[in-house]
């Protein structure tokens, strides 16, 4: 077991889902600041969280992302799929929690000793969350990644706040829910262009959907986000 750390992020996400009546986390993979604000201003009332990945972070930089996080009363998740040795992971986490992310996504495949322990320790120092990838939504996830039963058990052992499980294979979402229990968040990407269906994914046990292109590429992002938020 790793050091105990606050489970505030799980609570914060579940509060946001309840209070905002939405199970949608926006994957804000746009490439400029103006576009990011155009989308966020239109859709934020229909969101439970925002996820920022390399495309936006590398395009606009950390100061701009920090300002964005400060402007919306929503949990922000940093999706940098942290997967390095401890010394490097510590630096990445210190930077990203300082930027203001409420939780960071890490890969499970690097293991705990000399890798994820550093992520959990940084989360504990900052009182923030860690979300572990158990299984990915693309077809190639079946080529080399470990069995999802093993990564889900590992997530439970580590006591992370949540896991990523694929909306494109809802039988995995259901199995991962059985393994991780009811307390742990399951966030599921893959709805829309990747082929996953919102209702099926929530029915399988996901707490929230991670949705990008179906919202920010829509002619009317506000309507797209509202309709997704109506799926419960």
Q: Is 125 or 213 the residue whose CB approaches ligand BMP more closely?
A: 213
State how far the Cα of 32 lies from the Cα of 61, in Å rounded to an integer. 10
> Could you say which residues in the range 43-62 bind ligand BMP, by CB under 6 A?
53
Give φ, ψ of 182 to 5 degrees: -80, -25
The one catalytic residue among 3, 51, 81, 197? 81
Q: Is 89 or 137 the residue whose CB approaches ligand BMP more closely?
A: 137
- Taking CB positions, which residue lies at the least distance from ligand BMP? 212
Among 85, 193, 220, 232, binds ligand BMP (CB under 6 A): 193
Q: Which residue has the tokens 């920010």?
A: 216
Minimum distance, C-beta of residue 141 to ligand BMP, in the bound complex (Å): 7
What are the Cα distances from residue 107, in Å, to 21, 43, 104, 160, 173? Answer: 29, 29, 10, 12, 17
Minimum distance, C-beta of residue 101 to ligand BMP, in the bound complex (Å): 14
Among 22, 108, 137, 170, binds ligand BMP (CB under 6 A): 137
Does position 162 interact with ligand BMP (CB under 6 A)? The reply is no
State how far the Cα of 153 lies from the Cα of 138, in Å rounded to an integer. 21
Q: Residue 159 region, left (φ>0) first, then alpha (ψ -120 to 50), else beta?
A: left
Among 6, 8, 90, 194, binds ligand BMP (CB under 6 A): 194
State how far the Cα of 69 lies from the Cα of 181, in Å rounded to an integer. 30
Number of H helices, E strands in the chain: 12, 8
Among 166, 201, 204, 218, binds ligand BMP (CB under 6 A): 166
Does position 210 interact with ligand BMP (CB under 6 A)? The reply is yes
Q: Is 53 or 89 the residue whose CB approaches ligand BMP more closely?
A: 53
State how far the Cα of 43 lies from the Cα of 214, in Å rounded to an integer. 12
Minimum distance, C-beta of residue 4 to ligand BMP, in the bound complex (Å): 27
Q: Where does residue 147 rank: exposed (0-12), middle (13-18), buried (19+ CB within 10 A)?
A: exposed
Among 29, 86, 161, 207, binds ligand BMP (CB under 6 A): 29
Active site residue 81: yes
**Bridge partners (DSSP) listed for residue 76:** 50
State how far the Cα of 15 lies from the Cα of 139, in Å rounded to an integer. 33
Does position 190 interact with ligand BMP (CB under 6 A)? The reply is yes
Catalytically active residues are: 81
Which residue ranges make up the site for ligand BMP (CB under 6 A)? Answer: 27, 29, 53, 79, 136-137, 164, 166, 189-190, 192-194, 210-214
């Amino acid at each position: 077991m790793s050091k105990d750390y606050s489970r505030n992020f799980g609570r914060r996400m579940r509060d946001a889902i309840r209070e905002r009546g939405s199970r949608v986390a926006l994957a804000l993979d746009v490439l400029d600041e103006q576009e990011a604000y155009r989308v966020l201003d239109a859709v934020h009332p229909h969101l439970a969280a925002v996820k920022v990945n390399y495309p936006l972070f590398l395009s606009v930089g950390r100061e701009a992302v920090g300002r964005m996080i400060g402007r919306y009363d929503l949990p922000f998740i940093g999706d940098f799929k942290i997967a390095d040795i401890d010394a490097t992971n510590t630096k990445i986490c210190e930077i990203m929690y300082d930027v203001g992310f409420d939780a960071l996504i890490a890969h499970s495949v690097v293991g705990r000793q000399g890798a994820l322990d550093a992520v959990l320790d940084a989360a504990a120092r900052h009182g923030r969350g860690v979300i572990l990838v158990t299984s990915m939504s693309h077809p190639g996830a079946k080529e080399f990644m470990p069995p999802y039963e093993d990564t889900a058990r590992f997530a439970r052992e580590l006591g992370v706040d949540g896991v990523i499980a694929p909306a494109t294979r809802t039988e995995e979402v259901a199995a991962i829910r059985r393994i991780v229990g009811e307390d742990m968040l399951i966030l599921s990407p893959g709805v829309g262009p990747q082929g996953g269906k919102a209702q099926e994914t929530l029915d399988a046990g996901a707490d929230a959907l991670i949705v990008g292109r179906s919202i920010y590429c829509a002619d009317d992002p506000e309507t797209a986000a509202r309709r997704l938020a109506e799926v419960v």
